[in-house]
Amino acid sequence: MEGTMPTEGTPWGATWYAATMVDVPERTALAGDIDVDVCVIGAGLAGLTAARELARRGWSVGVLEARRVAWNASGRNAGLVAPGFAERLEAIVERVGLRRAKELWALSTAGVDYVRTTIRETEMPGVEPVQGWLVVRRTDDEEEVLRLVAMLRVDFGVNAEACPTEEVREVLRTPAYYQAVHMPEAFHVHALNYALGLAGAAERAGALIYEDSPAVALDVLGVRKRIHTPNGRIRANHIVLAGGPHLGDVFPPIAGTVVPVASYIATTAPLGERLAEAIIYPGVIADTRRAGDYYRVIGGDRLMWGGRITSRLSPPRRLPALMRRHIVRVYPQLADVEIEYAWPGTMSYAVHKMPQIGELSPGVWLAGAFGGHGLNTTAMAGDLIARAIIERDDRWRLFSAYELVWAGGRIGPAAARVVYWSMQLRDVLEERLSRR
């Protein structure tokens, strides 16, 4: 069965998250002029974290959101909270050296701790954290898994475990997988409820959040910056640009430095006892392919499955059927699974696959390009920028090796599609060779 997707009944789309979200207040649009210390543009995870941390330290903060809080990637992602970045760890070491890579990894781990601590301290409803992350191989290479675990444990101090094939197949009942790396301290959450809880925490600290208030023009010259919306204006000493790929029109220096990339997630109908025929691991599962699958059990007996990346931002026709095929390729025993929800989400990637974090000009800060690894890195970025503004903490400069790089302009999405297709081809060839 393919199932039928619900209609787009909420600003957050036809998602399982929207169907199970906590109650949220109606926030008004900005009307008139206000003066604050800091204006944050974008009420996603990075912007909300920055707003909360600034407000907790007594600074006045106004947050402008073009639509609703967490309407895009922040409220549509798979919910994995784990250390690291979208870029591979080995590539980071190669680019910046082991010492700097350790410092970057420590920041990414601090982002994980921030999310965990915030959930606990604010007693967020409906977030439901579940421990564990299993990174599985689709090709048989025990030596590579042991090498990676040794690097994680020795060089980066990570609590990581190597799992042999037989252990993996005890909890993931498929011949598609071989060895795995287990990281028990990573966890997964209800992504939308976390973002909504973070917005509430920012407001309780004193931040003002305005929805349906897109920034349409910026004047960043001088000490007092001016941010214009259709019906109002904010004057601030600092601006934090945290609106993802949507800000290029109002701040041209960042236009063309990221490629918007779509990914897709589906959620099955309740599976009951059938789920245990395929999966009995409670944490997040992801494979090591360049364009791999990632999934987790939710709601007790549903399966949330993510995969595919493309620069085509419109969802494919028959998306539920497409996602069901991905599930069945790994777990044939779920052949007639019903897809109840299926949705796209848009991420932004820089060419180097690392976040864009820093001060672009005096008082103008950027937090973006988190790729597919955003729950920890958005927390990291928001906290780093808040500390930089208030305490002159300069740890954000650790990202100076990953500056703004032109991503191809109009041809960037087409180039990204070619890269993705080549990644898929290499994945397929490696799997076939490993099974000879």
> 28-66: per-residue pLDDT in tens?
999 999 999 999 999 999 999 999 999 999 999 999 999
- Do 212 and 120 lie in one domain? The reply is yes
Cα 397 to chain centroid distance, Å, stands at: 22
- Do 339 and 360 lie in one domain? The reply is no
- Do 120 and 235 lie in one domain? The reply is yes
Per-residue HEC secondary structure of the chain comes to: CCCCCCCCCCCCCCCHHHHCCCCCCCCCCCCEEEEEEEEEECCCHHHHHHHHHHHHCCCCEEEECCCCCCCCHHHCCCCEECCCCCCCHHHHHHHHCHHHHHHHHHHHHHHHHHHHHHHHHHCCCCCCCEEEEEEECCCCCHHHHHHHHHHHHHHHCCCCEEECHHHHHHHECCCCCCCEEEEEEEEECCHHHHHHHHHHHHHHHCCEEECCCCCCEEECCCCCEEEEECCEEEEEEEEEECCHHHCCCCCHHHCCCCEEEEEEEEEECCCHHHHHHCECCCCEEEECCCCCCEEEEECCCEEEEEEEEECCCCCCCCHHHHHHHHHHHHCHHHCCCCEEEEEEEEEEECCCCCCEEEEEECCEEEEECCCCCHHHHHHHHHHHHHHHHHHCCCHHHHHCCCCCCCCCHHHHHHHHHHHHHHHHHHHHHHHHHHCC
**At which residue do the structure tokens 């070619």 appear?**
418
CB 303 within 8 A of CB 295: yes
Q: Quick check: is 7 in a domain?
A: no
Residues of the chain with confidence (pLDDT) below 50: 1-7, 408, 411-423, 425, 428
- Do 291 and 337 lie in one domain? The reply is yes
- Do 219 and 320 lie in one domain? The reply is no
Number of domains in the chain: 2
Q: Quick check: is 8 in a domain?
A: no
- Do 85 and 122 lie in one domain? The reply is yes
pTM of the complete model: 0.92
Contacts for 352 with CB less than 8 Å, ≥ 6 apart:
87, 95, 402, 405
Q: What is the pLDDT of residue 435?
A: 56
Q: Quick check: is 273 in a domain?
A: yes
Domain limits for position 267: 130-185+259-348+409-436
- Do 238 and 265 lie in one domain? The reply is no
Q: What is the pLDDT of residue 425?
A: 47
Give the angle 62-261-42 at the CA atoms, nearest 5°.
0
- Do 213 and 282 lie in one domain? The reply is no
Cα 270 to chain centroid distance, Å, stands at: 25
- Do 181 and 274 lie in one domain? The reply is yes
Q: Quick check: is 4 in a domain?
A: no
Q: Quick check: is 374 in a domain?
A: yes
Q: Quick check: is 18 in a domain?
A: no
Q: What is the pLDDT of residue 264?
A: 94
Q: Regarding beta strands 259-268 and 284-287, do their DSSP bridges make them parallel or antiparallel, or are they unpaired?
A: unpaired
Q: What is the pLDDT of residue 405?
A: 66
Q: What is the pLDDT of residue 191?
A: 98
Q: What is the pLDDT of residue 342?
A: 96
CATH number of domain containing 387: 3.50.50.60
Q: Quick check: is 311 in a domain?
A: yes
- Do 240 and 254 lie in one domain? The reply is yes
Q: What is the pLDDT of residue 248?
A: 77
Q: What is the pLDDT of residue 40?
A: 99
CATH number of domain containing 317: 3.30.9.10
- Do 60 and 178 lie in one domain? The reply is no
Q: Quick check: is 9 in a domain?
A: no
Q: What is the pLDDT of residue 348?
A: 87
- Do 181 and 35 lie in one domain? The reply is no
Q: What would the pLDDT profile of 375-416 be if each residue is shown by its tens digit?
A: 999 999 999 999 999 999 999 999 999 988 655 455 444 444
Q: How far apart are CA 63 and CA 386, in angstroms?
A: 14
Q: What is the pLDDT of residue 404?
A: 80
